[in-house]
Amino acid sequence: MEKYDIANLPTKIQRLNNLSEELGTDLYIKRDDFTGSEISGNKIRKLEYLLKDAIDNGFNLLITCGGIQSNHCRATVAAATMFGLKSAVLLRIDSQPPVVGNYFLDKLLGADVRFCTRPEYSNSRGEIMEQMAEEYRKQGYKPYVIPEGASNALGTLGYYNCMDEIARQEKEMGMTFDTVVVATGSGGTYAGLYLYNELHRLGKRVIGMAVCDNTEYFVNVVDSISHGALEFLPEYKGAVLDRSAIEINDKYIGIGYALSRPEELEFIKKVARAEGVILDPVYTGKAMYGLYNELQPGGNIPKGGKILFIHTGGLFGLFPVSGQFVW
Ligand SMILES: *Cc1c(COP(=O)(O)O)cnc(C)c1O
Q: What is the pLDDT along the chain (327 residues), one digit of tens a residue?
A: 999 999 999 999 999 999 999 999 999 999 999 999 999 999 999 999 999 999 999 999 999 999 999 999 999 999 999 999 999 999 999 999 999 999 999 999 999 999 999 999 999 999 999 999 999 999 999 999 999 999 999 999 999 999 999 999 999 999 999 999 999 999 999 999 999 999 999 999 999 999 999 999 999 999 999 999 999 999 998 899 999 999 999 999 999 999 999 999 999 999 999 999 999 999 999 999 999 999 999 999 999 999 999 999 999 999 999 999 999
Residue 140 CA to ligand 1 centre (angstroms): 33
**How far is ligand 1, taken at its centre, from the CA of residue 211, in Å?**
9
Q: From the CB of 148, is ligand 1 less than 6 Å away?
A: no
Q: Please, are residues 203 and 237 in contact by the beta-carbon 8 Å criterion?
A: no
For ligand 1, the distance from its centroid to the CA atom of residue 138, given in whole angstroms, is 33
pLDDT of residue 74: 98
* Spatial distance between the Cα atoms of 62 and 297, rounded to a whole number of angstroms: 47
Measured CA to CA, the distance from residue 138 to residue 141 in angstroms comes to: 7
Residue nearest to atom 12 of ligand 1 (CA): 312
Cut 0.95: pTM above it:
yes
143 DSSP 8-state letter:
E
DSSP lists the bridge partners of residue 181 as 207, 309
Angle in degrees, CA 72, 77, 80, rounded to 5: 120
Q: Which of 20, 37, 40, 70 is catalytic?
A: 70
Tell me the per-residue pLDDT of 181-237, one tens digit each, with 9 for 90 and over: 999 999 999 999 999 999 999 999 999 999 999 999 999 999 999 999 999 999 998
314 lines ligand 1 (CB under 6 A): yes
How big is the CA angle at 150 (ends 144 and 156), to the nearest 5 degrees? 120
186 lines ligand 1 (CB under 6 A): yes
Instruction: Count CB-CB contacts under 10 A for residue 83.
Output: 14
CA distance 101 to 116: 18
Q: What is the pLDDT of residue 237?
A: 87
Tell me the angle at which helices 188-199 and 215-229 cross, rounded to the nearest 10 degrees. Answer: 60
CA end-to-end distance (rounded Å), the chain: 49
Those residues with Cβ within 8 angstroms of residue 276's Cβ, 6 or more apart along the chain or in another chain = none
Residue 2 Cα to ligand 1 midpoint, Å, equals: 22
pLDDT of residue 160: 98
Among 288, 312, 318, 319, the mutation site with the greatest number of ligand 1 atoms within 8 A of its Cβ is: 312
Strand ranges (DSSP E) for the chain?
Answer: 13-15, 26-31, 61-67, 86-92, 112-116, 143-145, 179-184, 205-210, 247-249, 306-311
Angle at 109 between CA 103 and CA 110, to 5 degrees: 95
Q: Number of H helices and number of E strands within the chain?
A: 10, 10
Q: Report how far ligand 1's centroid is from the alpha carbon of 139 (Å).
A: 33
Q: Is 37 a catalytic residue?
A: no
Condensed to tens digits (0 to 9), the pLDDT of residues 53-68 reads 999 999 999 999 999 9
For the CA of 185, the closest atom of ligand 1 is 9
292: Cβ below 6 Å to ligand 1?
A: no
pLDDT tens readout for residues 35-44: 999 999 999 9
Strand 205-210's sheet: what is its strand order? 13-15, 26-31, 306-311, 179-184, 205-210, 247-249
Q: Please give the number of the atom of ligand 1 that sits closest to the Cα of 183.
A: 10
Ligand 1 binding pocket mutation candidate from 30, 47, 71 (most atoms within 8 A of CB): 71
